[in-house]
C-alpha cells in the first residue's frame, strides 16, 4: 500500500465516526435539516415560489388580505402579495446577511483575538480594551448609528452589525489561544526553533477552530435575528426587497385581524434561529473530545 492511499481510510473513518456521534442526537439532526431546507430555499427560492413577480414588487390589489388557502398557503398581505412567496424570498436576504455578519465578525474578531492572545503584554491590553469598549456600546444602537451614517442597504447593514459583533469572537479566540499557547505541543514547536507565525498558524489556530465554528453556527441564528430587528425598525433592506424583519414590521399594523401576515415571517425567523442553534449544539458535541460517545 502506498502512503498516499493509506491516508484515506483513516480520514474517512474519522468522518464516519463523527457522523455516528452526530447522529446520536436527534435534535442536532433536526437542526441540520432546518438549516439545509433554509439553504435550499435561499438558493432556489426565487425559482420555486408560486408568484415570482411579487418578489420584485408586483402587487395584486384584488386579492388583499386573503387568509391562508390552497392557492396562497400563507395568505396575502395588504398589497395582495403572496406571503409564502415573500417569506421564501426573504430567506436569501436573511441568510446572506447573517452569514456575512458572522464571517466578518469571526475574521476580524479572530484576528484581533489571536493577536492579543498570542502576543500578550501591551498589545493584548490595547486590543482587549478596544474590544471591551465595543462591548460597552449597545449593539443595536451602534448598528443603528452606523446604518444611519452610511445609509440603508444590505451591505451597510451587514457591516453595521458586524462592527458590534466581532468583540465576542475576539474574546473567545483570545481565551482559546492563551490556553493553547501553553500546550505542550506548542512548547515542543518552540523548542524546535519554530517562528512565531509558524506556531500561531500551524499549531495554535488549527486547534482553536472548533469553538470558532461552533460559535459561528450558534451566532448565525442571532445574526439573522439582528438583521430582522434592523429590518423591523426600518434600517436595512429597503422594500420592495422582501426581508423577514421588514415583513413583520409592515404586518404589525394589521394584527390581530390579518394574523397570517405577521405569523409566517415570525415563524421563519423562529425556525432559522432554532435550526442554527441546534446545529451549533450538535457541532459542539461533535468537536468536544470530552463528550465523545
Partner 1 sequence: MALLSIENLHLTIPSFEGEAQILNGVDLTLERGEICGLVGETGCGKSLTGLSISKLVASPPARYRQGSIRFDGQDILGLSESAMRALRGRRIGMIFQDPTTNLNPLFRIGDQMIDVALHSTGANRWSTSARREARARSIAMLERVGIQDAHNRLDDYPHQFSGGMRQRVLIAMALIGRPDLLIADEPTTALDVSVQAQILQLLFDIVREDNIAVLLITHNLGVVARLCTHVAVMYAGRIIERGTMADVFNRPRHPYTKALLNAVPTQKTRKGTLQGLGGSVPDPYLPHAGCRFAPRCAWAEARCSEAVPPETDLGHGHGVACIKAGDLA
Partner 2 sequence: MLQVKGLSKIYPGRRGSPAVTALDDVSFTIAPNSAFGVVGESGSGKTTLTRCLIGLEKPTRGEMLFEGRDIARLSPQDMREMRARIQIVFQDPYASLNPRMSAQDIIGEPLLIHHDRLQLTARARTDRVVELLERVGLGVRHLHRYPHEFSGGQRQRIGIARALAVKPQMLILDEPTSALDVSVQAQILNLLVELQDSLKLSYLFISHDLGVVRYICDRALLLLHGKMIEEGPVDQVFDHPQSDYARRLIAAIPDVDPARSLHLTA
Q: Which of 17, 44, 71, 120 binds partner 1 (CB under 8 A)?
A: 17
Binding of partner 1 by 69 (CB under 8 A): no
CA dist 59 and 96 (Å) reads 25
| Spatial contact of 265 and 244, defined as CB atoms under 8 Å apart | yes
Q: 196 touches which of partner 2, partner 1, none (CB within 5 to 8 A by kind)?
A: none
Q: What does 198 bind: partner 2, partner 1, none (CB cut-off 5 to 8 Å by kind)? A: partner 2
Binding flag, residue 21, partner 2 (CB under 8 A) = no
**Residue 185 binds to partner 1 (criterion: CB under 8 A):** no
Pick between residue 62 and residue 191 the one whose CB is nearest to partner 2.
191
Residue 21 touches which of partner 1, partner 2, none (CB < 5 to 8 A by kind)? partner 1
DSSP 52-81: HHHHTT---GGGTTPPS-SSSTT-B-TT--
Per CB under 8 A, which region of 51-59, 77-85, 126-134, 184-192 contacts partner 2? 184-192
> Residue 21, interface with partner 1 (CB under 8 A)?
yes
- Name the one range near partner 1 by CB under 8 A: 17-25, 29-37, 169-177, 270-278: 17-25
Torsion of CA 221, 223, 226, 230, to 10 degrees: -130
Residues in the chain: 293
C-alpha span between 180 and 193 (Å, rounded): 18
Task: Please tell me whether residue 252 binds partner 1 under the rule CB under 8 A.
Answer: no
Does 11 participate in binding partner 1 (rule CB under 8 A)?
Answer: no
Choosing from 6, 7, 11, 20, the residue that interacts with partner 1 (CB under 8 A) is 20
From 13-21, 77-85, 115-123, 227-235, give the range in contact with partner 1 by CB under 8 A. Answer: 13-21
Cell of 1: 500500500
Using CB under 8 A as the binding rule, whether residue 185 contacts partner 2 is answered as yes
What are the cell numbers at 77?
A: 398581505
Q: Which does 107 bind (CB under 5 to 8 A by kind): partner 1, partner 2, none?
A: none
Of 159, 72, 177, residue with least CA distance to 116: 177
Instruction: Give the relative orientation of helices 139-150 and 209-232 as an angle to the nearest 10 degrees.
Output: 60
> Do 51 and 85 form a contact (C-beta atoms < 8 A)?
yes
Amino acid at each position: 500500500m502506498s502512503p498516499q492511499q493509506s491516508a484515506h481510510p483513516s480520514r474517512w473513518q474519522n468522518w464516519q465516526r463523527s457522523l455516528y456521534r452526530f447522529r446520536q442526537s436527534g435534535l442536532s439532526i433536526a437542526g441540520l435539516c432546518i438549516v439545509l431546507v433554509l439553504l435550499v430555499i435561499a438558493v432556489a427560492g426565487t425559482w420555486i415560489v408560486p408568484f415570482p413577480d411579487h418578489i420584485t414588487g408586483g402587487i395584486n390589489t384584488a386579492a388583499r388580505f386573503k387568509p391562508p388557502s390552497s392557492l396562497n398557503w400563507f395568505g396575502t398581505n395588504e398589497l395582495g402579495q403572496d406571503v409564502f412567496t415573500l417569506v421564501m424570498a426573504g430567506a436569501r436576504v436573511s441568510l446572506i446577511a447573517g452569514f456575512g455578519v458572522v464571517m466578518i465578525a469571526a475574521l476580524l474578531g479572530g484576528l484581533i483575538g489571536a493577536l492579543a492572545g498570542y502576543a500578550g503584554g501591551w498589545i493584548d491590553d490595547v486590543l482587549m480594551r478596544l474590544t471591551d469598549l465595543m462591548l460597552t456600546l449597545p449593539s443595536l444602537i451602534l448598528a443603528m448609528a452606523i446604518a444611519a451614517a452610511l445609509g440603508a442597504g444590505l451591505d451597510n447593514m451587514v457591516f453595521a452589525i458586524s462592527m458590534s459583533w466581532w468583540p465576542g469572537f475576539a474574546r473567545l479566540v483570545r481565551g482559546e489561544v492563551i490556553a493553547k499557547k501553553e500546550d505542550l505541543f506548542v512548547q515542543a514547536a518552540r523548542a524546535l526553533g519554530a517562528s512565531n507565525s509558524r506556531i500561531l498558524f500551524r499549531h495554535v489556530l488549527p486547534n482553536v477552530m472548533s469553538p470558532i465554528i461552533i460559535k459561528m453556527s450558534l451566532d448565525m441564528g442571532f445574526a439573522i435575528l439582528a438583521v430582522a430587528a434592523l429590518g423591523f425598525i426600518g434600517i436595512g433592506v429597503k422594500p420592495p426587497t422582501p426581508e423577514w424583519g421588514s415583513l413583520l414590521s409592515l404586518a404589525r399594523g394589521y394584527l390581530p385581524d390579518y394574523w397570517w401576515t405577521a405569523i409566517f415571517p415570525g415563524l421563519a425567523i423562529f425556525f432559522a434561529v432554532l435550526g442554527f442553534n441546534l446545529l451549533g449544539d450538535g457541532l459542539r458535541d461533535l468537536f468536544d473530545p470530552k463528550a465523545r460517545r
